[in-house]
Every structure is written in C-alpha cells, then in structure tokens.
Amino acid sequence: MPDLIVIGGGAIGLSVAWRAAQRGAAVAVADPHPGGGASHVAAGMLAPVSEAQLGEPELLALGIASWRRYPEFIAELESLAGFGTGYARCGSLMVARDADDLALLDRELRVRQQMRLQVERITAAACRELEPSLAPSIRAGMFAADDHSVDPRRLLRALLAACTASGVVLLPERARLVIDDRVRGVMIRGTRYDATSVVIAAGAETGRVEGLPEHLRGLVRPVKGQILRLAQAEPTLLRHIIRGAEGYIVPRADGEVVVGATVEERGFDEQITAGAVHQLLRHACELVPDAAELRFVEVSAGLRPGTRDNAPLIGRTDVDGLLMAAGHHRNGILLAPVTADSVSALATGDAPPVEAAAFSPLRFGGRSMVSA
Ligand code: GLY
C-alpha cells in the first residue's frame, strides 16, 4: 500500500512525488498523461523578480525560496536523469518602446525598488549592448539579473526519470478519490488503491477530480494561455528573457524561442485562435524584428490553475489525509521545488518550509463554507 498517492503528474505532482520518495515514502502518481498539462505548455521562466506584484509579499517570499532551491534541485535531477534541463541563469530585460511603455517600465521599476529587489534601469544603448537584435525603437529597459529559466519539457522528462529511479509508481489513469471520515486512497478502473495520504496536484483540473468534496471544488479556475514555439538554427538571436508590455520571449541554448502568452478567462477552452497567434507574433517582432525569420514550430494552449487570490494552495485540507499542491497560476515551474519540499514534508510528518505557511488551502474557509 502506498503511503502517498499524488493525483496529477505535471511539474508540481512529479516534484512532490519525487521528494516524498526521497523521504522514504512509498509513492504512486495517478495521471492519464504524466508529464503533460500546463507544465508541458509553460515557457519555464523562473522569474520571481519580474513577476512580482505589489501587495503580494508572501508570494514573493515563496517565489524567492523556490528560486533559491533551483540550482540544487536541477543538479540532483540532472544527475539522476543523465541529461540537461536547459536551466539558464540568463536574466530578464523588460523593454519600453513608447511613452506608455516608459511609464509602465518606471512603475514596474519603482514597485521592485520598494520591494528591495535587484533591478537596474538601463539606457537604450545598454539594452542593445545586452541584446543587439532588439528593435532600434527600444527607448529604455529594466534588467533583472536574477530571473532565470528552464526548459519545462526537459524538466518533466527529468522528473519522470527521477521518480522512476526513486521507486515512484506511475499509474497512467484518471483516479477517483475515496473518502469517508478521512481520505482512504483512490479508485482507478474499479481497483482500489489505499493510501495514508492523497495529494491533489491536478492543476486546472483540480475541481474536476472525482470524489473531491464540494467545498474544495471551486478553489481553482482555468486561465487560458496561448504560446508559440519558434526555432533558430544557431542560438544567436537572444541571450536573455525579453519582456514587453504584452508578453515575453524566452530563448534557449538549444535554439528554441518561446513567445508567450495570452491570459484569457474562458473556462475549459483550449482552442487555438488566429488572433492570439497574430498578437503574439506582432509583439515579438516589434521587440525583435528578426524573430520574423525564425522557423515556426508550434502553437499551443494551456490552462493555468488560478485561485481567487492567484496564489497557490499548498498544504493540508480539512479532510484528514488530503493535501493540496495546486493553483500555482503563472508560477508552477518556479514554485515546484518549494511546493515539493512543503507537501512531502507534511505528508511524511515533518515541518514544511516557513514560506509555505501563508498558502494553506484553508485560507478560503473549510467545510463550514458549504453549509453556511
Ligand atoms: N509565467 C508566465 C505565464 O504564465 O504566462
């Protein structure tokens, strides 16, 4: 009997499973498509600095705690998997093209300075020194050296390899929760798998997990993102993450260039639209005209798991043995290491990192919400 079953095999679920197995737990992951979902679509920015928002100090602290864990997390994963994950300490450059962009850039700069984050306002010439391919119309930039990136698809493959190497059992099926006075395990195609604890790490699908109590169903909503993948024969076009007013460009050492992303409140809609492709390409080419010369590889849509306060749900629920690792919205890849440490610690009876305390799923109320 597993000690722990994780429902959901994206970056969060696999990281939780791997870390729990390292703590000596017998772990299984249930997911019809492990290594898929929003993690497979994500750009892989590890950007607590440029994604920081005023009024979200706890989320910033959580992001930084996870960002600090990344080098060791990646080193362990790569040595277990035997291949690279595209982890790059690249820095990000937010650029301004016109007066509106400049006003936005200065607002973003002030916010980060108030939060004592390491950012630097740089001139147009300095922007082009960092990135010679930027459009001549770029007027200034904000450089955040501490923003990094990873290739989420390589990361997922490495996590799958690490899980397998650590004895995690993969159940490539949809699971239904079994709960009476506490969680008992899951049911898969008529077979019951008992477990001491179950972790819901089902991303935007969280509310659709069968058997999940009513009061936990509405906590996560899908937030659609459409994203492009382009390719360059030689990785020479860009070296840093480039951010503009409407999106971002993430280059990789292997030549992949990711252009993201729309943010759309459309429920469970994963349709690709011509308008989104147009908008993303137009914005990318305005920032980096030579992007128009790149090979078009892919357009995809994913569903970010958003919560009411757009912060994650990490920790125990009010159902004995049932934990959540969901709702990571724009930051699932960044927050995987700290979420894994938190939930695997809780599931094995240890204390989680302090930064996770603010993200209890119980902050939105418990069972009483339903009867109230
Ligand atoms: N983290 C970037 C995005 O969600 O588009």
Answer yes or no: is pLDDT of 369 > 90: no
Is residue 42 predicted with pLDDT exceeding 80? yes
Which is the closest atom of ligand 1 to the Cα of 51?
1
133 exposure class (CB count in 10 Å sphere: 0-12, 13-18, 19+): middle
Q: Which of 12, 53, 264, 330 to mutate to test the pocket of ligand 1 (most atoms within 8 A of CB)?
A: 330
Going by pLDDT thresholds of 50, 70 and 90, the confidence category of residue 365 is confident
From atom 3 of ligand 1, which residue's Cα is the shortest distance away?
A: 330
pLDDT digits (tens, 9 = 90+) for 289-340: 999 999 999 999 999 999 999 999 999 999 999 999 999 999 999 999 999 9
* Environment class of 191 (CB within 10 Å of its CB; exposed 0-12, middle 13-18, buried 19+): exposed
CB atoms near residue 141 (< 10 Å): 26
- Cβ of 328 closer than 6 Å to ligand 1, yes or no, is no
Contact between 69 and 337 (Cβ < 8 Å): yes
Mean pLDDT of 77-96: 97
Instruction: Point out which residues pair with 197 in neighbouring strands.
Output: 4
Dihedral angle, C-alpha 319, 321, 322, 325, nearest 10 °: 140
Q: Tell me the pLDDT tens digit for each residue of 3-36.
A: 999 999 999 999 999 999 999 999 999 999 999 9
**What is the tens place of the pLDDT at every residue in 159-218?**
999 999 999 999 999 999 999 999 999 999 999 999 999 999 999 999 999 999 999 999
* Residue closest by Cα to atom 5 of ligand 1: 261
| C-alpha dihedral, 208 to 313 to 43 to 222, nearest 10° | 30
Q: Which atom of ligand 1 is nearest to the CA of 334?
A: 1
Q: Tell how far the Cα of 194 is from the centroid of ligand 1, in angstroms.
A: 36
Residue of minimum CA distance from atom 1 in ligand 1: 330
What was the pLDDT predicted at 368? 57
Nearest to 256 by CA among 237, 231, 278: 231
Q: pLDDT value at position 221?
A: 97
| Residue identifier of the C-alpha nearest atom 2 of ligand 1 | 330
Cα distance between residue 127 and residue 194, in whole Å: 57
Percent of the chain with pLDDT over 70: 99
pTM score: 0.96
> Would the CB of 261 count as within 6 Å of ligand 1?
yes
How much distance in Å is there from the Cα of 105 to the middle of ligand 1? 18
Averaged pLDDT of the chain: 95
Check whether 370 has a pLDDT greater than 60: no
Ligand 1 mutation target, pool 147, 224, 248, most atoms within 8 A of CB? 248
Pocket test for ligand 1, best of 149, 259, 264, 304 (most atoms within 8 A of CB): 304
- Mind listing the pLDDT tens digit for each residue in 227-236? 999 999 887 8
